[in-house]
Amino acid sequence: MSTTPHIAYLDNGDSTQVLPEVIEEMLPHFTEWYGNPASLHQLGLRAEETLDEAREKVAGLIGAKPAEVFFTSGATESNNIALEGLRRLHPKKKHVLISPIEHASVRNVVLRMEKEGFVELEELSVDGEGLLILDSLREKLRDDTLFVSVIHGNNEIGTIQDLRPIAEICHEKGALLHADCAQTFGKIPLNVKDLGVDLASFNAHKLHGPKGVGALYVRKRLKLRRLFEGPPQEQGLRPGTENVPAIVGLAKAAEIAVRDMDEVMPQVNELTKQLADRLQEIPHVQINGPEIGSKNRLPGNLNITFKYIEGEAILMSLNYGGVYVSSGSACSSRSLVPSHVLTSIGLLHEEAHGSIRYTLSRLNTQEDVDHAVVETAKAVERLRAMTAFIPEEHSKRESEHATTFYKQRKEKLD
């Protein structure tokens, strides 16, 4: 008699399973209350009322006013609207700053701006855990700096930035601060006023909500040039009929996440710590980013390098064993280019290529952790047996690389 093999989904930093309560909340807006919020009949008015309620709920959960919340298709679109909207409205302020560990939806936007001659881009410095070095921000800010963009919780190594002092430094120079909060929303306490940010991006599918929906916070009285032309939805910033069922799902998922945060996140962290401790029993591994369970790391995030093996090979082996993970950011895991996040914190290219990201959520169990440990150990042993490597020579190169990397970083700051 065959039994169903265990599946351990540990790629929640990429996307999460939608909770039944969220689906239940969304369903009537597909089948009963399906009107367009712009229509003046009863179904349309009901849809508009639903939209207003969702906006009030999301605003309340992030410490904003409803008029400061704009619904989008996700954090990627929110990031694009925020940064392109600022750039188009302020063409004379050409200097922009980003951290070197930004998500592609920020990094690629400003790289394109620079390539097309619209901005002068500089990258800030981070330490070996990915935390922003404030002196690099003070040093590089200028009177013509338009915005600084800093990811709140890094999607690969889980680093959580303390945004308040970053905001204060930016505002002293008259620069605006944008934060990508896609990974922190619903996982740690988040209040945009307390953080001091001017713009912030959010989405639903990292916190057990539906895909294809997100939000952008824009501080009151701050203006953006819209990217698209059309009807006046979302106060004219984002034209097009709102996806009411998905927006309802976003609001419900966020409500549940914030409500259960104090109970759920410690449990997630405990499972993550167990997974990290047991995987570190495998020879020649290292954890990337801040300490697991610390205030500087996202709950559920574990990025670990298995030296002398390709991450893609580990990923495929784990896939066959029923353990679903990613090699770095899922948005770029099909690329052969090493993660810019991992190289920014000092990893060699081959170390970055040998890194796997495990991300846990409220739905993971002890059985998932046990299964992942067994399958990972088997995969690493099998793959290393197929590869000739000399740990002593590699360790010497690592040491030389680290010495050079941190010496160059210190010289930049000095």
Q: What share of the chain is helix, strand, coil (3-state, %, to 5)?
A: 45, 15, 40
Nearest C-alpha neighbor of 122 from the set 147, 151, 143: 147
Average pLDDT, the chain: 92
Burial 223-250 (b: 16+ CB within 10 A, else e): ebebeeeeeebbeebbeeebbbbbbbbb
99 in Cβ contact with 126 (< 8 Å): yes
Please give the pLDDT value at position 400: 56
pLDDT tens string 369-398: 999 999 999 999 999 998 765 555 555 555
pLDDT tens string 87-114: 999 999 999 999 999 999 999 999 999 9
Mean pLDDT score, 15-33: 97
pLDDT band at 329 (very low <50, low <70, confident <90, very high): very low
CA distance 321 to 240: 43
Task: Give the CATH number of domain 261-413; options: 3.30.1640.10, 2.60.40.10, 3.90.1150.10, 3.40.50.1000.
Answer: 3.90.1150.10
Mean pLDDT score, 275-282: 98
Q: Give residue for tokens 């063409």.
A: 91
Please give the pLDDT value at position 408: 56
Please give the pLDDT value at position 4: 77
Q: Any idea where the domains of the chain sit in the sequence?
A: 20-257, 261-413
CA dihedral 339, 314, 153, 74 (to 10 degrees): 90
Please give the pLDDT value at position 336: 62
Task: Give the CATH number of domain 20-257; options: 3.40.50.620, 3.40.50.720, 3.40.640.10, 3.40.50.1100.
Answer: 3.40.640.10
Q: Lowest mean pLDDT: which of 292-296, 307-311, 377-381?
A: 307-311
pTM (two decimals): 0.91
More confident residue, 191 or 5: 191
**Looking at the annotation, which residues are catalytic?**
331
Please give the pLDDT value at position 390: 57
Question: What is the percent of the chain where pLDDT is above 90?
Answer: 86
* pLDDT over 80 (residue 321): yes
